[in-house]
Amino acid sequence: MTFLTEQVSQVDVGEIKGEHKPREGGLPRLESPCPNCGNEIVASAKTYACTGCTFKVWSTIADKKITASQVETLIKKGKTVEIKGFVSKKTGKSFSAMLVLQDKTTGAVSFEFAKKK
C-alpha cells in the first residue's frame, strides 16, 4: 500500500460530511437536548452548540462568561434569572440582565432588564 493510499484510508468520511460526533470523554455535554432538533448540545471554548443542527449559544456574551447551568435554564425555561456582570460595548459600564432565547433554530438571545421599582 502506498503512503497516499494509506493516508486516505484513515480519513473518517463521517467527519468530512459533518456527521462526526464528539467521542466519549470529549467535549462536555449539557443535560438538556437541543430545543430545535432534540440532539445533544456540547460545550466548547466559544459556544454551546448542537451536534445536529445550527443551534448555538455563545459562551461569552457582552464580556460575561455564560455557565452551562445558565444555558440549561435558558433552554428549559426560555429565559435565565438575572445575570450580573455584562459589560456594555458602547459605554463600558457593567449591567445586569436576563437572557431570553429569541430563536430556537439558531440560539439567538436578547437581554431583558428587570423593571425598576
Q: What is the pLDDT of residues 39-85, one digit of tens each?
A: 999 999 999 999 999 999 999 999 999 999 999 999 999 999 999 99
Question: Which pLDDT score is estimated for 114?
Answer: 87
The pLDDT assigned to 12 comes to 53
CB 72 within 8 Å of CB 60: no
Q: What is the pLDDT of residue 9?
A: 58
Q: In this predicted model, what pLDDT tens digit does every residue of 91-101 receive, in sequence order? A: 999 999 999 99
Does the reported pTM lie above 0.85?
Answer: no
- Which residue in 81, 84, 104 sits closest to 95, CA to CA? 84
Q: How confident is the model at residue 20 (pLDDT cuts 50, 70, 90)?
A: very low
Gap between the Cα atoms of 87 and 30, Å rounded: 26
For residue 79, what is the DSSP state?
A: B
Q: Are 75 and 66 in contact (CB under 8 A)?
A: no
* Furthest-apart CA atoms within the chain: distance in Å: 76
Does position 37 have pLDDT exceeding 80, yes or no? yes
Torsion of CA 64, 69, 72, 77, to 10 degrees: -80
